[in-house]
Structure 1
Amino acid sequence: MASAQVQLPHNLHAILKEGDSQIDASCDNLIENLQAGIFLNQNKLKFWVDRLLLANAFDIHAKGLIIYGGHDPSCWQWDTVGAVLLRIDWLDVRGKFPAKNLTPGMVYQVSFVLMMKDGEYGFANHPVNFELAIPNYHETIERKEDLSKLPKNKWTKVRVGEFITSCNMTGNLEISMFEHGPQLKGGLIVNKIEIRPVRRQCQN
Protein backbone atom coordinates (compact mmCIF):
# COMPACT_ATOMS: atom_id res chain seq x y z
CA MET A 1 0.00 0.00 0.00
CA ALA A 2 2.78 2.46 0.89
CA SER A 3 4.46 2.18 -2.50
CA ALA A 4 1.15 2.85 -4.28
CA GLN A 5 0.88 6.18 -2.49
CA VAL A 6 4.26 7.45 -3.65
CA GLN A 7 3.90 10.29 -6.14
CA LEU A 8 5.82 9.52 -9.30
CA PRO A 9 8.37 12.07 -10.56
CA HIS A 10 7.15 14.59 -13.12
CA ASN A 11 6.81 13.23 -16.69
CA LEU A 12 8.45 10.00 -15.58
CA HIS A 13 7.05 7.64 -18.22
CA ALA A 14 8.17 9.85 -21.10
CA ILE A 15 11.65 10.20 -19.57
CA LEU A 16 12.01 6.44 -19.05
CA LYS A 17 11.30 5.83 -22.74
CA GLU A 18 14.68 7.45 -23.44
CA GLY A 19 16.47 5.18 -20.96
CA ASP A 20 19.47 3.10 -21.99
CA SER A 21 18.07 0.23 -19.93
CA GLN A 22 14.51 -0.73 -19.08
CA ILE A 23 13.14 0.30 -15.69
CA ASP A 24 9.75 -0.90 -14.48
CA ALA A 25 7.83 2.15 -13.25
CA SER A 26 5.71 -0.07 -11.03
CA CYS A 27 8.55 -1.78 -9.12
CA ASP A 28 8.71 -1.37 -5.35
CA ASN A 29 12.19 0.19 -5.28
CA LEU A 30 11.55 2.59 -8.16
CA ILE A 31 12.29 5.77 -6.19
CA GLU A 32 15.56 4.34 -4.85
CA ASN A 33 16.59 3.42 -8.40
CA LEU A 34 15.75 6.90 -9.66
CA GLN A 35 17.64 8.60 -6.85
CA ALA A 36 20.70 6.59 -7.90
CA GLY A 37 20.22 7.82 -11.47
CA ILE A 38 19.76 6.33 -14.93
CA PHE A 39 21.40 7.09 -18.27
CA LEU A 40 19.41 8.27 -21.28
CA ASN A 41 20.00 8.65 -25.02
CA GLN A 42 23.06 6.39 -25.28
CA ASN A 43 24.75 7.83 -22.22
CA LYS A 44 24.42 11.42 -23.43
CA LEU A 45 22.15 12.32 -20.50
CA LYS A 46 21.80 11.29 -16.88
CA PHE A 47 18.51 11.63 -14.99
CA TRP A 48 17.85 11.23 -11.31
CA VAL A 49 15.51 12.45 -8.58
CA ASP A 50 16.90 14.83 -5.97
CA ARG A 51 16.50 13.15 -2.57
CA LEU A 52 15.59 16.29 -0.61
CA LEU A 53 13.43 18.17 -3.09
CA LEU A 54 12.01 15.09 -4.85
CA ALA A 55 12.48 16.92 -8.14
CA ASN A 56 13.99 15.86 -11.45
CA ALA A 57 17.67 16.60 -12.08
CA PHE A 58 19.71 16.12 -15.25
CA ASP A 59 23.23 16.15 -16.62
CA ILE A 60 23.95 16.69 -20.31
CA HIS A 61 27.27 14.98 -20.88
CA ALA A 62 29.81 16.47 -23.28
CA LYS A 63 28.93 14.04 -26.05
CA GLY A 64 25.33 15.26 -25.84
CA LEU A 65 26.42 18.85 -26.58
CA ILE A 66 26.91 20.63 -29.90
CA ILE A 67 30.59 21.59 -29.97
CA TYR A 68 31.97 23.59 -32.88
CA GLY A 69 34.88 21.65 -34.37
CA GLY A 70 34.14 18.74 -32.03
CA HIS A 71 34.80 16.14 -34.73
CA ASP A 72 38.13 17.69 -35.75
CA PRO A 73 40.90 15.83 -33.87
CA SER A 74 43.23 18.81 -34.29
CA CYS A 75 40.78 20.95 -32.29
CA TRP A 76 39.22 18.63 -29.72
CA GLN A 77 40.23 15.35 -28.12
CA TRP A 78 37.60 13.09 -26.57
CA ASP A 79 38.23 10.93 -23.51
CA THR A 80 36.30 9.50 -20.58
CA VAL A 81 36.04 12.86 -18.79
CA GLY A 82 34.67 14.81 -21.72
CA ALA A 83 35.88 17.04 -24.55
CA VAL A 84 39.43 18.41 -24.26
CA LEU A 85 40.11 21.61 -26.20
CA LEU A 86 43.47 21.40 -27.95
CA ARG A 87 43.45 24.43 -30.23
CA ILE A 88 40.65 26.58 -31.64
CA ASP A 89 39.73 30.22 -32.16
CA TRP A 90 35.92 29.92 -32.44
CA LEU A 91 34.89 28.45 -29.08
CA ASP A 92 31.22 27.49 -29.20
CA VAL A 93 29.52 24.86 -27.01
CA ARG A 94 25.73 24.55 -26.92
CA GLY A 95 23.11 22.31 -25.38
CA LYS A 96 19.33 21.98 -25.61
CA PHE A 97 16.99 20.39 -23.10
CA PRO A 98 13.19 19.92 -23.12
CA ALA A 99 11.70 22.04 -20.34
CA LYS A 100 8.70 19.70 -20.01
CA ASN A 101 10.93 17.18 -18.19
CA LEU A 102 11.66 19.57 -15.31
CA THR A 103 9.55 19.47 -12.16
CA PRO A 104 7.13 22.46 -12.02
CA GLY A 105 7.28 24.96 -9.17
CA MET A 106 11.02 24.64 -8.64
CA VAL A 107 13.99 26.98 -8.90
CA TYR A 108 16.56 25.33 -11.18
CA GLN A 109 20.20 26.26 -11.59
CA VAL A 110 22.12 25.60 -14.81
CA SER A 111 25.92 25.26 -14.72
CA PHE A 112 28.76 24.08 -16.93
CA VAL A 113 31.25 21.71 -15.28
CA LEU A 114 34.69 22.66 -16.61
CA MET A 115 38.37 22.16 -15.92
CA MET A 116 41.26 24.45 -16.89
CA LYS A 117 44.53 22.57 -17.35
CA ASP A 118 48.01 23.81 -16.59
CA GLY A 119 49.28 25.61 -19.67
CA GLU A 120 45.85 26.80 -20.81
CA TYR A 121 46.08 29.74 -23.18
CA GLY A 122 43.98 32.28 -25.02
CA PHE A 123 41.47 32.89 -22.22
CA ALA A 124 43.13 35.61 -20.11
CA ASN A 125 41.48 39.00 -20.77
CA HIS A 126 39.03 37.29 -23.14
CA PRO A 127 35.96 36.48 -21.01
CA VAL A 128 33.74 33.66 -22.21
CA ASN A 129 30.03 34.35 -22.72
CA PHE A 130 27.45 32.16 -20.98
CA GLU A 131 23.79 32.33 -21.99
CA LEU A 132 20.57 30.63 -20.94
CA ALA A 133 17.41 31.06 -23.02
CA ILE A 134 14.31 29.79 -21.22
CA PRO A 135 11.00 28.90 -22.91
CA ASN A 136 8.11 31.25 -22.01
CA TYR A 137 10.58 33.88 -20.76
CA HIS A 138 11.06 37.07 -22.74
CA GLU A 139 14.74 37.55 -22.07
CA THR A 140 17.96 35.56 -22.07
CA ILE A 141 20.17 35.26 -19.00
CA GLU A 142 23.66 36.41 -19.94
CA ARG A 143 26.92 36.60 -18.05
CA LYS A 144 30.68 36.52 -18.68
CA GLU A 145 33.46 34.59 -16.94
CA ASP A 146 37.24 34.82 -17.24
CA LEU A 147 38.01 31.11 -17.33
CA SER A 148 41.75 31.74 -16.93
CA LYS A 149 41.02 32.56 -13.27
CA LEU A 150 39.47 29.16 -12.50
CA PRO A 151 41.49 26.72 -10.36
CA LYS A 152 43.79 24.58 -12.49
CA ASN A 153 43.30 20.82 -12.82
CA LYS A 154 40.10 20.88 -10.76
CA TRP A 155 36.49 20.45 -11.82
CA THR A 156 34.63 23.72 -11.35
CA LYS A 157 30.95 24.56 -11.73
CA VAL A 158 30.47 27.75 -13.72
CA ARG A 159 26.94 28.98 -13.11
CA VAL A 160 24.97 30.15 -16.13
CA GLY A 161 21.74 31.17 -14.37
CA GLU A 162 18.61 30.26 -12.41
CA PHE A 163 14.96 30.16 -13.40
CA ILE A 164 11.56 29.03 -12.09
CA THR A 165 9.67 26.20 -13.75
CA SER A 166 5.93 26.23 -14.38
CA CYS A 167 3.33 23.66 -15.42
CA ASN A 168 2.95 25.11 -18.91
CA MET A 169 6.60 25.30 -19.96
CA THR A 170 7.16 24.00 -23.47
CA GLY A 171 10.07 24.08 -25.87
CA ASN A 172 13.76 23.77 -25.05
CA LEU A 173 16.19 25.38 -22.67
CA GLU A 174 19.04 26.67 -24.83
CA ILE A 175 22.37 26.79 -23.00
CA SER A 176 25.55 28.15 -24.54
CA MET A 177 29.16 28.99 -23.85
CA PHE A 178 31.12 30.87 -26.50
CA GLU A 179 34.05 33.16 -27.23
CA HIS A 180 34.50 34.04 -30.90
CA GLY A 181 37.64 36.15 -30.69
CA PRO A 182 40.40 35.55 -33.24
CA GLN A 183 42.98 34.38 -30.70
CA LEU A 184 43.73 30.67 -30.44
CA LYS A 185 42.84 29.04 -27.15
CA GLY A 186 43.30 25.65 -25.55
CA GLY A 187 43.57 23.76 -22.27
CA LEU A 188 39.85 23.65 -21.41
CA ILE A 189 37.96 20.43 -20.63
CA VAL A 190 34.15 20.39 -21.00
CA ASN A 191 32.63 17.69 -18.80
CA LYS A 192 28.88 18.39 -18.77
CA ILE A 193 26.01 20.79 -18.17
CA GLU A 194 24.14 20.36 -14.88
CA ILE A 195 20.43 21.21 -14.55
CA ARG A 196 19.73 21.06 -10.82
CA PRO A 197 16.73 21.87 -8.62
CA VAL A 198 17.98 24.09 -5.79
CA ARG A 199 14.82 25.05 -3.90
CA ARG A 200 11.06 25.20 -4.19
CA GLN A 201 9.45 28.34 -5.51
CA CYS A 202 8.35 30.53 -2.60
CA GLN A 203 4.60 30.68 -2.20
CA ASN A 204 3.14 34.06 -1.23
Structure 2
Amino acid sequence: MDGNNIGISSVFSFLPEGCISNIISFTSPKEACKASVISVGFKSASESDTVWKKFLPSDYKEIISKSVSSPLNYATKKELYFHLCHYPILINDGTLSFWLSKSGGKKCYMICARELSIAWKDTPRYWSWTSIPESRFPEVAELLEVCWLDIRGKMQTKMLSLNTIYSVYLVCKTTENSYGLETVVKASVGFAGGSSVSSSTSSSTTSTSDHVEQEGDSIYLKIPTYVHDLRYGQRRPMLRHRRVLRPRPEHQIDGRVPRQRNDGWMEIFLGEFFSNEGDGEIEMQVSETKILNCKGGLIVEGIELRPKEDA
Protein backbone atom coordinates (compact mmCIF):
# COMPACT_ATOMS: atom_id res chain seq x y z
CA MET A 1 0.00 0.00 0.00
CA ASP A 2 1.49 3.36 -0.95
CA GLY A 3 1.74 6.41 1.29
CA ASN A 4 -1.27 8.18 -0.19
CA ASN A 5 -3.54 5.26 0.56
CA ILE A 6 -2.23 5.02 4.12
CA GLY A 7 -3.01 8.70 4.61
CA ILE A 8 -6.51 8.32 3.20
CA SER A 9 -7.14 5.32 5.40
CA SER A 10 -5.98 7.23 8.49
CA VAL A 11 -8.21 10.21 7.78
CA PHE A 12 -11.32 8.08 7.32
CA SER A 13 -10.55 5.56 10.07
CA PHE A 14 -12.56 7.57 12.61
CA LEU A 15 -15.70 7.68 10.45
CA PRO A 16 -18.48 5.08 10.74
CA GLU A 17 -18.61 2.59 7.88
CA GLY A 18 -22.02 3.89 6.84
CA CYS A 19 -20.63 7.38 6.43
CA ILE A 20 -17.74 6.11 4.30
CA SER A 21 -20.19 4.14 2.13
CA ASN A 22 -22.29 7.23 1.63
CA ILE A 23 -19.24 9.23 0.51
CA ILE A 24 -18.12 6.52 -1.93
CA SER A 25 -21.64 6.35 -3.41
CA PHE A 26 -21.09 9.85 -4.83
CA THR A 27 -18.13 8.65 -6.94
CA SER A 28 -18.38 5.99 -9.67
CA PRO A 29 -18.27 2.18 -9.95
CA LYS A 30 -14.64 2.41 -11.07
CA GLU A 31 -13.65 4.55 -8.08
CA ALA A 32 -15.60 2.31 -5.70
CA CYS A 33 -13.62 -0.70 -6.91
CA LYS A 34 -10.38 1.21 -6.40
CA ALA A 35 -11.43 2.16 -2.87
CA SER A 36 -11.93 -1.49 -1.92
CA VAL A 37 -8.15 -2.11 -2.01
CA ILE A 38 -7.22 0.75 0.33
CA SER A 39 -7.95 -1.12 3.54
CA VAL A 40 -10.24 -3.74 5.06
CA GLY A 41 -12.54 -0.99 6.31
CA PHE A 42 -12.75 0.60 2.88
CA LYS A 43 -13.38 -2.77 1.25
CA SER A 44 -16.39 -3.40 3.46
CA ALA A 45 -17.73 0.13 2.94
CA SER A 46 -17.19 0.21 -0.82
CA GLU A 47 -18.93 -3.12 -1.38
CA SER A 48 -22.01 -2.28 0.65
CA ASP A 49 -25.50 -2.16 -0.85
CA THR A 50 -25.63 1.55 0.02
CA VAL A 51 -22.93 2.24 -2.56
CA TRP A 52 -24.08 -0.02 -5.38
CA LYS A 53 -27.74 0.84 -5.07
CA LYS A 54 -26.74 4.39 -6.07
CA PHE A 55 -25.02 3.05 -9.20
CA LEU A 56 -28.04 1.03 -10.27
CA PRO A 57 -30.91 2.77 -12.12
CA SER A 58 -33.54 4.09 -9.71
CA ASP A 59 -36.15 1.83 -11.37
CA TYR A 60 -33.97 -1.28 -11.48
CA LYS A 61 -36.47 -3.36 -9.49
CA GLU A 62 -39.23 -2.64 -11.98
CA ILE A 63 -36.94 -3.44 -14.91
CA ILE A 64 -35.66 -6.79 -13.66
CA SER A 65 -39.17 -7.79 -12.58
CA LYS A 66 -40.05 -7.81 -16.31
CA SER A 67 -37.37 -10.39 -17.12
CA VAL A 68 -38.77 -13.26 -19.19
CA SER A 69 -36.17 -15.69 -17.84
CA SER A 70 -35.99 -17.07 -14.33
CA PRO A 71 -35.66 -14.47 -11.53
CA LEU A 72 -32.18 -13.03 -11.16
CA ASN A 73 -30.33 -14.43 -8.18
CA TYR A 74 -27.92 -12.03 -6.52
CA ALA A 75 -26.58 -11.74 -2.99
CA THR A 76 -25.53 -8.07 -3.15
CA LYS A 77 -26.31 -4.98 -5.21
CA LYS A 78 -22.73 -5.05 -6.51
CA GLU A 79 -23.25 -8.55 -7.81
CA LEU A 80 -26.44 -7.46 -9.55
CA TYR A 81 -24.70 -4.43 -11.06
CA PHE A 82 -21.93 -6.45 -12.66
CA HIS A 83 -24.34 -9.15 -13.79
CA LEU A 84 -26.34 -6.54 -15.72
CA CYS A 85 -23.13 -5.09 -17.17
CA HIS A 86 -22.05 -8.42 -18.64
CA TYR A 87 -25.26 -10.38 -19.23
CA PRO A 88 -28.17 -8.66 -21.02
CA ILE A 89 -31.63 -9.77 -19.95
CA LEU A 90 -34.79 -10.01 -22.03
CA ILE A 91 -37.72 -7.96 -20.73
CA ASN A 92 -41.19 -6.89 -21.88
CA ASP A 93 -42.20 -10.34 -23.15
CA GLY A 94 -38.87 -10.74 -24.93
CA THR A 95 -39.21 -7.66 -27.15
CA LEU A 96 -36.38 -5.73 -25.46
CA SER A 97 -32.88 -6.63 -24.36
CA PHE A 98 -31.61 -4.61 -21.37
CA TRP A 99 -28.18 -4.20 -19.81
CA LEU A 100 -25.99 -1.57 -18.14
CA SER A 101 -23.04 0.18 -19.76
CA LYS A 102 -19.69 -0.88 -18.34
CA SER A 103 -18.38 2.68 -18.25
CA GLY A 104 -21.01 4.25 -16.01
CA GLY A 105 -23.97 1.97 -15.40
CA LYS A 106 -26.23 3.78 -17.90
CA LYS A 107 -29.24 1.99 -19.39
CA CYS A 108 -28.79 0.20 -22.72
CA TYR A 109 -31.46 -1.42 -24.87
CA MET A 110 -31.91 -3.37 -28.06
CA ILE A 111 -35.35 -3.44 -29.70
CA CYS A 112 -35.97 -6.80 -31.36
CA ALA A 113 -36.76 -7.00 -35.07
CA ARG A 114 -40.33 -8.20 -34.44
CA GLU A 115 -41.02 -5.00 -32.47
CA LEU A 116 -39.78 -2.77 -35.28
CA SER A 117 -42.04 -1.35 -37.95
CA ILE A 118 -40.78 -2.99 -41.16
CA ALA A 119 -42.61 -2.48 -44.43
CA TRP A 120 -44.25 -5.77 -45.52
CA LYS A 121 -42.64 -7.67 -42.64
CA ASP A 122 -45.63 -10.03 -42.42
CA THR A 123 -45.56 -10.89 -46.14
CA PRO A 124 -43.70 -14.23 -46.57
CA ARG A 125 -42.71 -13.30 -50.10
CA TYR A 126 -40.55 -10.44 -48.80
CA TRP A 127 -39.51 -11.32 -45.24
CA SER A 128 -39.12 -14.54 -43.29
CA TRP A 129 -38.91 -14.98 -39.52
CA THR A 130 -36.45 -17.50 -38.18
CA SER A 131 -34.50 -18.48 -35.08
CA ILE A 132 -30.71 -18.54 -35.06
CA PRO A 133 -28.48 -19.51 -32.11
CA GLU A 134 -26.34 -16.37 -32.19
CA SER A 135 -29.30 -14.05 -31.54
CA ARG A 136 -30.42 -13.03 -28.06
CA PHE A 137 -34.03 -12.90 -29.30
CA PRO A 138 -36.32 -15.84 -30.15
CA GLU A 139 -36.50 -14.77 -33.80
CA VAL A 140 -34.87 -12.47 -36.34
CA ALA A 141 -36.07 -11.03 -39.63
CA GLU A 142 -34.47 -12.20 -42.89
CA LEU A 143 -34.99 -10.12 -46.00
CA LEU A 144 -35.82 -12.35 -48.96
CA GLU A 145 -36.36 -9.69 -51.60
CA VAL A 146 -37.73 -6.14 -51.68
CA CYS A 147 -37.17 -3.02 -53.72
CA TRP A 148 -38.73 -0.85 -51.02
CA LEU A 149 -36.86 -0.95 -47.70
CA ASP A 150 -38.24 0.84 -44.67
CA ILE A 151 -37.32 -0.07 -41.07
CA ARG A 152 -38.38 2.09 -38.12
CA GLY A 153 -38.21 1.91 -34.36
CA LYS A 154 -39.49 3.93 -31.40
CA MET A 155 -38.55 4.27 -27.74
CA GLN A 156 -39.91 6.36 -24.91
CA THR A 157 -37.15 8.56 -23.49
CA LYS A 158 -38.38 7.94 -19.93
CA MET A 159 -36.90 4.45 -20.27
CA LEU A 160 -33.41 5.87 -20.86
CA SER A 161 -30.81 7.43 -18.57
CA LEU A 162 -31.14 11.19 -18.37
CA ASN A 163 -28.42 13.68 -19.34
CA THR A 164 -26.81 11.09 -21.59
CA ILE A 165 -25.79 11.14 -25.25
CA TYR A 166 -27.07 7.94 -26.85
CA SER A 167 -25.75 6.32 -30.03
CA VAL A 168 -28.14 4.27 -32.15
CA TYR A 169 -27.18 1.24 -34.25
CA LEU A 170 -28.85 -1.19 -36.63
CA VAL A 171 -27.63 -4.67 -35.63
CA CYS A 172 -27.62 -7.02 -38.59
CA LYS A 173 -25.64 -9.40 -40.78
CA THR A 174 -25.77 -10.59 -44.37
CA THR A 175 -26.15 -14.04 -45.89
CA GLU A 176 -23.70 -15.59 -48.35
CA ASN A 177 -26.11 -14.97 -51.20
CA SER A 178 -26.99 -11.38 -50.30
CA TYR A 179 -27.39 -8.86 -53.11
CA GLY A 180 -28.33 -5.24 -53.69
CA LEU A 181 -27.06 -4.11 -50.28
CA GLU A 182 -24.09 -2.07 -51.51
CA THR A 183 -26.15 0.98 -52.46
CA VAL A 184 -26.73 4.07 -50.32
CA VAL A 185 -29.48 3.84 -47.68
CA LYS A 186 -30.72 6.76 -45.60
CA ALA A 187 -30.66 6.69 -41.78
CA SER A 188 -32.17 9.19 -39.38
CA VAL A 189 -32.61 9.55 -35.62
CA GLY A 190 -34.64 12.24 -33.86
CA PHE A 191 -37.40 13.10 -31.47
CA ALA A 192 -41.02 12.54 -32.50
CA GLY A 193 -42.38 15.67 -34.12
CA GLY A 194 -38.89 16.94 -34.97
CA SER A 195 -37.58 17.73 -38.43
CA SER A 196 -35.26 14.75 -38.77
CA VAL A 197 -37.82 11.96 -38.40
CA SER A 198 -41.49 11.77 -39.30
CA SER A 199 -43.90 11.19 -36.41
CA SER A 200 -45.75 8.56 -38.42
CA THR A 201 -44.46 5.00 -38.82
CA SER A 202 -44.76 2.45 -41.56
CA SER A 203 -46.76 -0.72 -41.16
CA SER A 204 -46.48 -4.05 -42.94
CA THR A 205 -49.06 -2.82 -45.45
CA THR A 206 -47.26 0.41 -46.37
CA SER A 207 -47.56 1.32 -50.06
CA THR A 208 -45.44 3.66 -52.14
CA SER A 209 -48.36 6.02 -52.70
CA ASP A 210 -48.77 7.10 -49.07
CA HIS A 211 -45.13 7.38 -48.01
CA VAL A 212 -43.06 10.55 -47.80
CA GLU A 213 -39.34 9.96 -48.30
CA GLN A 214 -37.25 10.99 -45.30
CA GLU A 215 -33.83 12.56 -45.70
CA GLY A 216 -30.97 11.44 -43.49
CA ASP A 217 -27.36 10.32 -43.34
CA SER A 218 -25.93 7.95 -45.93
CA ILE A 219 -25.17 4.41 -44.77
CA TYR A 220 -24.42 1.08 -46.41
CA LEU A 221 -25.91 -2.23 -45.30
CA LYS A 222 -22.89 -4.00 -46.78
CA ILE A 223 -19.40 -2.66 -47.51
CA PRO A 224 -19.15 -1.80 -51.23
CA THR A 225 -16.67 -3.83 -53.25
CA TYR A 226 -14.62 -3.34 -56.39
CA VAL A 227 -13.26 -5.74 -59.00
CA HIS A 228 -9.59 -6.58 -58.47
CA ASP A 229 -7.43 -8.23 -61.16
CA LEU A 230 -5.07 -10.96 -59.98
CA ARG A 231 -2.12 -11.45 -62.31
CA TYR A 232 -0.11 -14.64 -61.90
CA GLY A 233 2.45 -14.12 -64.66
CA GLN A 234 3.45 -16.45 -67.48
CA ARG A 235 3.69 -19.66 -65.44
CA ARG A 236 -0.10 -19.90 -64.99
CA PRO A 237 -1.60 -18.32 -68.11
CA MET A 238 -5.12 -19.64 -67.39
CA LEU A 239 -5.26 -17.56 -64.19
CA ARG A 240 -3.42 -14.53 -65.53
CA HIS A 241 -6.47 -12.25 -65.52
CA ARG A 242 -8.56 -13.78 -62.75
CA ARG A 243 -10.92 -11.24 -61.13
CA VAL A 244 -12.05 -11.15 -57.50
CA LEU A 245 -14.14 -8.78 -55.41
CA ARG A 246 -12.37 -6.78 -52.70
CA PRO A 247 -13.85 -4.41 -50.07
CA ARG A 248 -13.63 -0.81 -51.23
CA PRO A 249 -11.28 1.36 -49.10
CA GLU A 250 -13.29 3.30 -46.55
CA HIS A 251 -11.96 6.68 -47.65
CA GLN A 252 -13.58 6.03 -51.04
CA ILE A 253 -17.03 5.42 -49.53
CA ASP A 254 -19.39 8.36 -49.06
CA GLY A 255 -21.26 6.97 -46.08
CA ARG A 256 -21.06 4.87 -42.92
CA VAL A 257 -20.42 1.15 -43.25
CA PRO A 258 -21.07 -1.87 -40.98
CA ARG A 259 -18.63 -2.63 -38.17
CA GLN A 260 -17.89 -6.07 -36.74
CA ARG A 261 -19.05 -6.68 -33.14
CA ASN A 262 -17.65 -9.09 -30.59
CA ASP A 263 -20.90 -11.06 -30.58
CA GLY A 264 -20.60 -12.00 -34.25
CA TRP A 265 -23.08 -9.43 -35.54
CA MET A 266 -22.44 -6.26 -37.53
CA GLU A 267 -23.62 -2.82 -36.46
CA ILE A 268 -24.25 0.33 -38.48
CA PHE A 269 -24.26 3.71 -36.75
CA LEU A 270 -27.56 5.47 -37.47
CA GLY A 271 -27.14 8.64 -35.39
CA GLU A 272 -27.16 10.01 -31.86
CA PHE A 273 -29.27 12.17 -29.56
CA PHE A 274 -29.16 13.75 -26.12
CA SER A 275 -31.57 12.27 -23.59
CA ASN A 276 -32.51 15.11 -21.25
CA GLU A 277 -36.27 14.77 -20.87
CA GLY A 278 -38.41 11.98 -19.52
CA ASP A 279 -41.62 12.29 -21.51
CA GLY A 280 -40.50 12.33 -25.15
CA GLU A 281 -40.17 9.69 -27.84
CA ILE A 282 -37.17 8.95 -30.00
CA GLU A 283 -37.68 7.63 -33.53
CA MET A 284 -35.15 5.80 -35.70
CA GLN A 285 -35.38 4.97 -39.40
CA VAL A 286 -33.47 3.11 -42.12
CA SER A 287 -34.92 3.68 -45.57
CA GLU A 288 -34.27 3.23 -49.28
CA THR A 289 -37.37 4.13 -51.26
CA LYS A 290 -36.32 6.63 -53.93
CA ILE A 291 -34.29 4.15 -55.98
CA LEU A 292 -36.17 0.91 -56.60
CA ASN A 293 -33.16 -1.36 -56.12
CA CYS A 294 -33.97 -5.02 -55.48
CA LYS A 295 -32.11 -6.42 -52.51
CA GLY A 296 -32.06 -9.50 -50.31
CA GLY A 297 -30.00 -11.46 -47.80
CA LEU A 298 -30.12 -9.01 -44.89
CA ILE A 299 -30.73 -10.46 -41.41
CA VAL A 300 -31.98 -7.92 -38.85
CA GLU A 301 -31.65 -8.61 -35.12
CA GLY A 302 -32.77 -5.19 -33.91
CA ILE A 303 -31.93 -1.56 -33.18
CA GLU A 304 -29.60 -0.84 -30.27
CA LEU A 305 -29.37 2.28 -28.11
CA ARG A 306 -26.36 2.70 -25.83
CA PRO A 307 -24.44 5.63 -24.29
CA LYS A 308 -21.95 7.26 -26.64
CA GLU A 309 -19.04 6.62 -24.26
CA ASP A 310 -19.62 2.88 -24.81
CA ALA A 311 -19.63 3.24 -28.60
The TM-score range, normalised by the shorter chain, is 0.7 to 0.9
Shift of 1:197: 0.9
Q: Give the 3-state SS of the residue equivalent to 1:184 in structure 2.
A: coil
Residue 156 (structure 1) aligns with? 266
The question of 1:179 aligning with 2:282 is answered no
Q: Is the 8 A contact 2:189 2:273 kept in 1?
A: no
Distance 2:172 2:265 in 1: 6
Partner in structure 2 of residue 195 of structure 1: 305
Seq. identity, %: 27
**Structure 2: how far apart are the matches of 1:132 and 1:4?**
37
Q: Which has the larger radius of gyration?
A: 2
Instruction: Give the number of the structure whose residues are more often strand, by fraction.
Output: 1
Match of 1:140 among 196, 199, 222: 196
CA–CA separation in structure 1 for the residues paired with 2:176 and 2:64: 40
2:308 alignment partner, SS class:
strand
- Pair 26,84 (structure 1): closer, same or farther in 2 beyond 3 Å: closer
Structure in which a larger fraction of residues adopt helix: 2
Which 4+ stretches in 1 moved above 4 angstroms? 21-27, 150-154
Tell me: CA distance 1:103–1:95, structure 2 relative to 1, closer, same or farther (3 Å): same
Q: Deviations over 1:68-91 (max 9, x none)?
A: 111111111112242110011221
Q: Which runs of 5+ in 2 are unaligned?
A: 1-17, 19-47, 133-139, 198-215, 225-246, 248-257
Partner-residue secondary structure (3-state), 1:183: coil
Other structure's SS at 1:57 match? strand
- Residue number in structure 1 paired with 2:57: 9
Q: Measure, in 2, the Cα distance between the counterparts of 1:63 and 1:138.
A: 25
C-alpha change, 1:147 and 1:32, in structure 2 (3 Å) is closer
Amino acid at match of 1:147: L
Q: Could you state the TM-score of these two structures normalised by the residue count of structure 1? A: 0.81
User: Are 1:41 and 2:92 an aligned pair?
Assistant: yes
Higher relative contact order (CA 8 A, sep 6+): 1
Q: CA deviation at 1:96?
A: 0.7
